[in-house]
Amino acid sequence: MADQPPLIAARGVTRILPGIVPTTLVRNIDLAIGDNEFVAITGPSGSGKSSLLYLLGLLDLPTEGEVLICGRATAHMSEEERAATRLSTLGFVFQFHFLLPEFTARENIMLPMRARGRLTLPAMRERAGDLLAALGLADHCDKRPDQLSGGQRQRVAVARALANDPPVILADEPTGSLDSKSSEQVFAILRELVDAHGKTVVAVTHDLGHAAHMDRRLQLVDGAIVSDEPQRVAAPAIS
C-alpha cells in the first residue's frame, strides 16, 4: 500500500569512529529501501559500503541520525529489541560464510530459528531441510562446513539468512570469496529471491557486472552517497 513505510530508512545517518583523529565512516546518509528491491551498494575500497550495510542492519549504531525498520525508530531500542528486530526482519550473508564448524549445515540454519523461539524442534529441522533442498543441497544436510565446497557453504549461509523468512536480506560481498561459477550461482539465487519470492536484497559488491544486473545502484564515495539510480537491465541466463 502507498502509505506503508519503507522496510529500511536512514535519516541523516553518520558514523564516526572516535580517536585522536576521528574517522568518518559514513556521512549524512538519507535513504529509503522498500519492498521487492534488489539494491547494489558500490564504491571504491574504504568508501563506507560495509559500514553503511552494518548500520542498516542494526549491527552498528550511528553517531548521528537514525535508522528506521518498517517505520519503527531504533535509536532508543535496547540491544534485546534490536536483536529481536534483526531476527524477525533481516537476514545476513557475509563474504565469508561464518558457519559454525562444529555444526552440520542443517544445524547452522536452525540457529536463527532457535534464537527466535517460534518453532518446535521438528518444525525447525523440517524448514532447514526444505531451505537446503530449495538451494540444491538436499543431500548435504548432515555435512559440516569443512565437508562442503566454498559455493556450497555460501548457499548454506543464504539458507541461514532465510531461516526466519525475513523480508530483507543484507549481503556484504556475498560472492567476493567464490570462483566465477559459484559466484554466478549465488548471484542467481539472490536474483530469484527478489523476482520469485518478493524479497528485498541489499548487497555490497565490488563486482560491477553483478551490480549492473541489479535494480538499483547506490554509489558511495568517502562515506557519502553520490548517486542513487534505478537500473532495468535484464539479467543474463545462468547456466
Residue 32 and residue 9 in contact, taking contact as beta carbons nearer than 8 Å? yes
pTM over 0.75: yes
Please check the confidence at residue 123 and state whether its pLDDT lies above 60. Answer: yes
Please say whether the beta carbons of 6 and 48 come within 8 A. no
Least confident of 163-167, 175-179, 190-194: 175-179
Per-residue pLDDT tens over the stretch 27-61 = 999 999 999 999 999 999 889 999 999 999 999 99
| Cα 41 to Cα 62: distance, rounded to the nearest angstrom | 18
- pLDDT in the model for residue 182: 81
pLDDT at 2: 55
Question: What DSSP designation does 147 have?
Answer: G
The per-residue pLDDT for 8 is 94
Under the banding of pLDDT at 50, 70 and 90, the label for residue 238 is: very low
Radius of gyration of the chain from its Cα atoms, rounded to whole angstroms = 18
What pLDDT score was predicted for residue 232? 59
Q: What is the pLDDT of residues 128-166, one digit of tens each?
A: 999 999 888 899 999 999 999 888 898 899 999 999 999
Task: With a cut of 50, say whether residue 235 has pLDDT above it.
Answer: no
pLDDT of residue 129: 94
Domains of the chain by start residue, with CATH: 8-228 (3.40.50.300)
- Here the cell at position 31 is 535513504
**What DSSP designation does 202 have?**
E
Q: What is the pLDDT of residue 82?
A: 92
pLDDT tens digits, one per residue of 63-101: 999 999 999 999 888 999 999 999 999 999 887 778 999
Q: 102 falls in which pLDDT band (50, 70, 90)?
A: very high
The Cα 55–Cα 19 span in angstroms is 20
Whether residue 236 has pLDDT greater than 70: no
